[in-house]
Amino acid sequence: MEGPGCFSDAARHSASMETAPEIFDRNALRVHRDRAAQTFGEYDFLVREIGARLSDRLLDMARKFPLALDLGARTGGYGPVPGGPGGIEHVVSCELSERMARQIENSGVVCDPEILPFAEGRFDLVYSNLELHWANDLPGCLLQITRSLKSDGLFLAAILGGNTLTELRDVLMAAELDVTGGASPRVSPFAELRDAGALLQRAGLALPVVDADEITVTYENLFRLLADLRGMGETNTVRERVRTATRRNIFLRAAELYLERYPAEDGRIRATFEIIYLHGWAPHESQPKALRPGSAKTSLADALGTAEYSAGDSADPDRSNVD
């Protein structure tokens, strides 16, 4: 897409997508979001909670953000809002699902976060609430985000981490093995914490910060958990997933195993959501930089209050010759 406010090199990024592995079916994700749009407010507890945590982190920034991009806005309002705490004045809301975007106050932009239709250096802040874990080309997405930021602009995001729904993965695989003798991917894979910092640096973001926490939610049973995931539009979109309906006896067996292996209080079950937070700045000359090797003005010996010797010298001249 060419024209005012659009990337002139969007086509070049599209070409790079041809070499990126397509783990997720983006059309399936769009369909899941469209189906969840009408009743999303009944299942938004996780997105709402993470939005509040992102807003709290923004409070630590003693500055204003005249123009922000909400990447993966759902139906809107799940993050820092204009005029509220955090110094945001205006927000552009970007959402993959047209049905969800229609519900965003002051209108939302329908676009795929994997190909952002915005000019370079447009935004003071880009934030994303549980969206980018669905990206096939996460490094490419982060590079586009860096380009869309003004110099010294902030990127702040939360994604689902690799420990998310480990309980569900375990019991679905075990149940399918018990019933059919084989297994297929039924829970989408997510990013690992150890890789996140390198991804920020690769995208050219300065002063990267990555951390994580876990949220444990209890459910009456497996079927209530699956209903919540459908209501959030967060069900399996792995391209190699089984396309036929799963046999009911697999789910019944999985429900039994879930209660046996991961019980909570009062006969309920527990589900873990790992949240990885990403934080980085578009480069600017005012930001702290590491000194070049050899440019220090104070020696380590002076700082430690010890004597300094040249390379090859003995630390104790009186003991330089030892029989």
* CATH number of the domain that residue 19 is part of: 3.40.50.150
240 located within any domain = no
Provide the domain count of the chain: 1
Are 69 and 153 in contact by the 8 Å Cβ rule? The answer is: no
DSSP β-bridge partners for residue 143: none
246 located within any domain = no
Grouping H, G, I as helix, E, B as strand and the rest as coil, residue 71 is strand
What integer pLDDT is reported at residue 320 of this predicted model?
47
242 located within any domain = no
Q: Which long-range contacts (CB under 8 A, 24 or more apart) does 111-115 make?
A: 112/26, 113/71, 113/72, 113/141, 114/17, 114/26, 114/140, 114/141, 115/10, 115/13, 115/14, 115/17, 115/144
Mean pLDDT by 10 residues, the chain (323 residues): 39 48 90 97 97 92 91 93 83 96 90 92 97 93 96 96 94 90 71 89 94 97 97 88 74 96 95 97 81 62 66 53 47
130 located within any domain = yes
Q: Which domain holds residue 287?
A: 10-162+189-213+274-308
Grouping H, G, I as helix, E, B as strand and the rest as coil, residue 279 is strand
Query: Phi and psi dihedrals of 213, rounded to 5?
Result: -145, 170
What letter would DSSP give residue 64?
Answer: -
Calpha distance 303→300 (Å, rounded): 5
Calpha distance 132→114 (Å, rounded): 9
What integer pLDDT is reported at residue 183 of this predicted model?
67
Indicate the Cα dihedral angle 183, 186, 192, 198, nearest 10°.
Answer: 100
What integer pLDDT is reported at residue 236 of this predicted model?
85
Residue type, 108: G
Can you list the positions of beta strands (E) in 84-200? Answer: 88-95, 109-110, 123-129, 149-160
Grouping H, G, I as helix, E, B as strand and the rest as coil, residue 22 is coil
Residue 230 token pair: 């459908």
